[in-house]
Amino acid sequence: MSNYEIIYNNLNQYRLDESEKKALTLLLMNLNPYEKPYLIGSRLDSTKAGGDIDLMIVTKKVEYEYSEFLKNIFQHSCNEKIDILLINENEISESNELFLKTITNFSKNLISNESDYPFQNINFSKIDHLLNIIDKSVNSIIKLEFAVNRIKEIDISKPIDEEEMILLDGETARFQRAYEKVVYFFKTYDRFLKGESSPTHRDLFLNMQKIGLIDNVEFWMNIRKTRNQIAHIYLEDFLESTTKFTVKIMSNKLIELKDKLINIKNNLNK
């Protein structure tokens, strides 16, 4: 049996049509002998239909040009979209480590048909660091939520008594801390996903918007501006202009993030 036939037959156990198997076989035949290819993603689920083909290749060549070379081989014979992830087993970046943590289903080696996936026992120390940051962010948001609930009945348009001032002061402090914890998470998550830090807060918020964590960059720029104002203005001078807006809208925006952060943590813990 030829190498083509062996590889093609290995692909019969996965959810691929004839044109996809033929194109993928041609791609795999162009790999170097030391490279290990695996299917990941939805094509391993026989109950689903369609979906991109997600191919991970453990290799020493992680150049963009090599990935495009392999894609062109596949797409010369098949119009289906294929995503190729190249990973150097000995030099795993933070972004790749984050991604690998989320993979719970993977194929056998598509060439050898052996169960030799190399990342089952990887040390995810960086992931643990990210999980710790998520926990601190969520805890700060829970404390902010508690403080917001305590000041719901305060009418800021009227004179504030001493007891109400203490409650507002506490909410404002927790607003600042929650913002700082969340932005630190944003920065850490951004580095994990991109491998580098965004140069400005606007770029950072734009990246968080692209992945669905926030929905309005300008609003988050205003949250940042408000947090900086609070840090430099006495609370009594700050109440009339922006505290009501901060309490009822900005704090609630931070609180809305709680479930999203918990979902990220749950996915990383799978």
d(CA 134, CA 140): 10
Q: At 179, which helix (H) or strand (E)?
A: helix 162-194
Q: At 86, which helix (H) or strand (E)?
A: strand 82-87
Indicate the length of the chain as a whole number: 270
Q: Which amino acid is it at 207? A: N
Q: Give the model's pLDDT for residue 233.
A: 59
Question: Is the pLDDT at 113 greater than 60, yes or no?
Answer: yes
Q: Give the model's pLDDT for residue 147.
A: 86
Q: Give the model's pLDDT for residue 246.
A: 64
Q: Give the model's pLDDT for residue 149.
A: 86
DSSP string, 96-137: HHHHHHH---B---TTT-----TTTT---HHHHHHHHHHHHH
Q: What is the pLDDT of residues 162-191, one digit of tens each?
A: 787 777 777 888 888 999 999 999 988 887
207-to-160, 183, 185, 227 alpha-carbon distances in Å: 40, 12, 13, 21
**If you average pLDDT over each of 25-39, 142-156, 221-235, which comes out highest?**
25-39
Question: Is the pLDDT at 217 greater than 90, yes or no?
Answer: yes
Cβ proximity of 175 and 227 under 8 Å:
yes
Higher pLDDT, 230 or 71: 71
Closest CA to 160 of 250, 231, 237: 237
Q: What is the pLDDT of residues 84-98, one digit of tens each?
A: 989 887 777 666 766
Q: Tokens 């491998």, residue?
A: 195
Average pLDDT, the chain: 84
Closest CA to 188 of 133, 141, 253, 138: 133
Higher pLDDT, 13 or 96: 13
Higher pLDDT, 148 or 93: 148
| Three-state SS at 83 | strand
d(CA 106, CA 36): 12
Q: Which long-range contacts (CB under 8 A, 24 or more apart) does 67-74 make?
A: 70/27, 70/30, 70/31, 73/23, 73/26, 73/27, 73/30, 74/23, 74/24, 74/26, 74/27
Q: What is the pLDDT confidence band of residue 241, given thresholds at 50, 70 and 90?
A: very low
Mean pLDDT in residue range 225-240: 65
Q: What is the DSSP letter of 45?
A: -
